[in-house]
Structure 1
Amino acid sequence: MYNKILLPIDLNHKQSWDKALPTALNFCQTYNASLHIITVLPDFGLPLVGGFFPREYAEKAKKAISGDLKAFVAEQVPKGVKVQRIVADGKAYEAILRVAKKLDVDLIVMASHKRKRLEDYLLGTNALRVVQQSRRSVMIVR
């Protein structure tokens, strides 16, 4: 049923993967699917933001987060699961949708959290946008 599963996570926020990771792993093991874990860096290249950082900052940040993601996968993902680590940049929901399309994933599994604004009450803003705009199946885990 599922061959490729995309799991967006924020390494700094355990609630972004605490429940979603076991769900994604269960699907991977049940369907012998590959797991594609993505974490997204903000786009430092934007003119408004980029001026505050040295040119090499974005590349250093990407290398650091890539190392952190590698360690996360080694610690959290069982050996028998085929896994790909992805570090993307830009707005989180746009990067998730872009990678989902590029990899032609079957399912996006992601966590949601409550926000203060009324429209974000049921889903976090990134999860809401992914659900609204994705052409792939999306599972929101609470």
Structure 2
Amino acid sequence: MYKKILLPIDLNHDGSWIKALPTALQLCRDYGASLHIVTVIPDFGLPLVGGFFPREYTEKAEQAVSQRLKEFVLEKIPQEVQVQRIVTDGKTYEAILRVAKQLKVDLIVMASHKRKRAEDYILGTNATRVVQQSKRSVMVVR
């Protein structure tokens, strides 16, 4: 049923993977699927803001995040699970949707985060937007 599973994580927030990762791993084992772990480096939004950072900042940030993701995979993912690490940038939900489309994943497994704002109470902002806009199946893990 599932051949490619996408797991978005935030390396600075354990809540983004602590429950979603075991679920994704079990689905990979059950279906013989590959796991594609994506982490997103936020963009600066306005060029004015980006102008305060040196040009090499984004490249250095990407290298640092890539190394942290590599360490995460070595520590948390069993060797029998085929895994791909992806570091990308942009708005989190847009990057997740873009990667899901590019990889033609069958399923996105992600955590929900409760927020203080009323409209984000049920799901976190990014999870809500991914669920609403994705053309792929999405499993939200609480």
Using structure 1 for the length normalisation, give the TM-score: 0.98
Secondary structure at 1:49 match in 2: helix
Runs of 5+ consecutive residues of structure 1 not aligned to the other structure:
none
Structure 1 counterpart of 2:139: 139
Q: Distance in 2 between matches of 1:59 and 1:46?
A: 18
> What does residue range 3-82 of structure 1 map to in structure 2 within 5 Å?
3-44=3-44, 46-82=46-82
Give the deviation of 1:48 after TM superposition. Answer: 2.8
Contact 1:40 1:90 in 2 (8 A): yes
Give the deviation of 1:113 after TM superposition. Answer: 1.0
Secondary structure at 1:18 match in 2: coil
Using structure 2 for the length normalisation, give the TM-score: 0.98
Runs of 5+ consecutive residues of structure 2 not aligned to the other structure:
none
Structure 1 counterpart of 2:115: 115
Number of positions where the alignment pairs a residue of Structure 1 with one of Structure 2: 142
CA RMSD of aligned residues (A): 0.9
Is residue 85 from structure 1 mapped to residue 85 from structure 2 by the alignment? Answer: yes
> What does residue range 89-108 of structure 1 map to in structure 2 within 5 Å?
89-108=89-108
Identity of aligned residues (%): 77
Secondary structure at 1:53 match in 2: coil
Contact 1:44 1:58 in 2 (8 A): no
Q: Distance in 2 between matches of 1:8 and 1:48?
A: 28
Contact 1:112 1:141 in 2 (8 A): yes
